[in-house]
Amino acid sequence: MSPEQNSELTIVIPAKNEACMLPRLLTSLVRQDYPLLPATRILVADAGSTDGTVQAVHRFREHLCIEIVRGGLPSVGRNAGAKLATTKYILFLDADVELTDVTLLRRAMGSMRRRSLHLTTVSIGCRQGSFFDDLLYAGSNVMQHIGARWKPFATGMFMLFEREAFWRLGGFNERALFAEDYLLSKGVQRSRFRIVRGRILTTNRRFRKLGHGRMIWMFFKTMLHTWDDEYFLEDQGYWGEAT
């Protein structure tokens, strides 16, 4: 009997050269009090890492039902993992996040079941960031809550989807070159979307590489183009500079 026959959730993590960050995420998953975690299949969609990411994954096989699958840029990797899932729910996580609240996964899954939701997400915090890093993430969280009254916005750092709803929306647009998480999540019915209490932590590496001003400008332009899906298919220079 496969693990997915005993579980309701598959976790998909796109990764490339995340040997330093991924173990922190996987350790935080081991600590979660979600009762079905031992039977939960975790798929690391690797995009050709050369830094020991694969070896880092192998070290967690005693604690997690984890495996490597072929990935690509985040949309490609996420979809590749999702295609292998047969469970009712799929959780997409970025490789550089950490679930510091041990109850988060259990509570998010409970919310999905009780409310028959299609998508849940969570607020974001910065681990060991500067004052400006914390301020920007706090501002993003506020805008996320305000914007959710009209159109859902879930960050790709944590997107818990009902699998059928995910595929009805077409999955992640692999042609998207910017904000592919926003492009997908805004198609979810508002009544089927929730932001779970709590937050996950991530790094400030996006701010370090792009700069605070550039990140604010890109976020602002995303809001301005919310109705223009073609905007997200144009190269905004994000992947060339942020990775």
Secondary structure, 3-state, 36-66:
CHHHCEEEEEECCCCCCHHHHHHCCCCCCEE
104 Cβ neighbours under 8 A, 6+ residues apart:
32, 122, 196, 198, 200
pLDDT tens across 61-119, in order?
A: 999 999 999 998 889 999 999 999 999 999 999 999 999 999 999 999 999 999 999 99
Comparing 18-27, 86-95, 133-142, 185-194, the range with the smallest average pLDDT is 133-142
d(CA 44, CA 84): 12
d(CA 90, CA 205): 26
- Going from N- to C-terminal start, the domains of the chain cover 3-204
Cα torsion 21, 35, 193, 90: sign: positive
d(CA 3, CA 171): 23
Mean of the pLDDT values across residues 132-161?
83
| Residue whose tokens read 């020991």 | 52
Predicted local confidence at residue 241, as pLDDT = 46
For strands 158-162 and 119-126, give the pairing: antiparallel
Topology of the domain covering 3-204: Spore Coat Polysaccharide Biosynthesis Protein SpsA; Chain A (3.90.550)
Are 125 and 157 within 8 A, CB to CB? no
Predicted local confidence at residue 144, as pLDDT = 80
Greater confidence (179 vs 209) lies with: 179
pLDDT of 157 strictly over 90: yes
Alpha helix segments (H runs only) across the chain: 22-30, 53-58, 74-83, 104-115, 131-147, 163-168, 180-185, 205-210, 212-224, 238-242
pLDDT of 213 strictly over 90: no
What pTM does this model have? 0.86
Structure tokens that stand for 234 in this block: 């144009």
Helix (H, G, I), strand (E, B) or coil at 70: strand
